[in-house]
Chain A
């Protein structure tokens, strides 16, 4: 059974870079029809998608964060990582990594995509001096 687990500092100073790693266990990050995303949730608020990466290294980012976000993958370690630069208090949140499934028919029709079927437990990151 595939599991994902976030790791990284729980406290980051303003203007610095937030760095988190997601370790995938129980399966290969390179197998199957999946992408790998970061999602965050400020306390008491809703969910915000940050961006995704495929095992190939192809990435997509939320336009609202694109200038500050980098997601990378290390298939040899079965990990993917998030870097968010120039953080402020507004970046304080629980950060989740998640696997998303998608399906494309033989005719190239996308029947579903970006369904986050496996989530990490989340890691709280506070931006404060």
Chain B
């Protein structure tokens, strides 16, 4: 199966900061990569699909990039409501979808 490794596992940043989260796949997955945001006690929310396409209704401060094995999720200016855990998900191996381990973004 394709392993997805996120880094860092957690980070602390002040409101207004630019934040970047990295996701690395154990093999090339083209652009079959999605990003989700999960707040405590809530279901995940789709932010980015196909590596760089912004899901409808998601603020434009979120962006995604990358292809092959290396991907990034960027929050251009961190807002109070952005404190959450973020997950990447590969969809290249459609018979065995896998998620990264998560990155917890905390307030500084």
Q: Indicate, yes or no, whether A interacts with B.
A: yes
A119 interface residue (CB < 8 Å to B): yes
List 18 interface pairs A-B (beta carbons < 8 Å), by A numbering: A47-B87, A47-B99, A48-B99, A60-B95, A63-B1, A63-B95, A112-B50, A113-B94, A114-B34, A114-B89, A115-B34, A115-B55, A116-B34, A116-B36, A116-B89, A117-B49, A119-B43, A120-B43
Total interface residues in chain A, CB < 8 Å: 21
Q: How far is the CA of A48 from the CA of B32 in the complex (A)?
A: 17
Whether A116 pairs with B102 at a CB distance below 8 angstroms is: no
Interface string of A110-129 (1 = CB under 8 A from B): 01111111011110000000
A contacts with B: majority SS: strand
Q: Which residues from chain A sit less than 8 Å from chain B, CB to CB?
A: 46-49, 60, 62-63, 96, 98, 101, 111-117, 119-122
If A46-B101, A49-B97 touch, does A112 touch B45 (CB 8 Å cutoff)? no
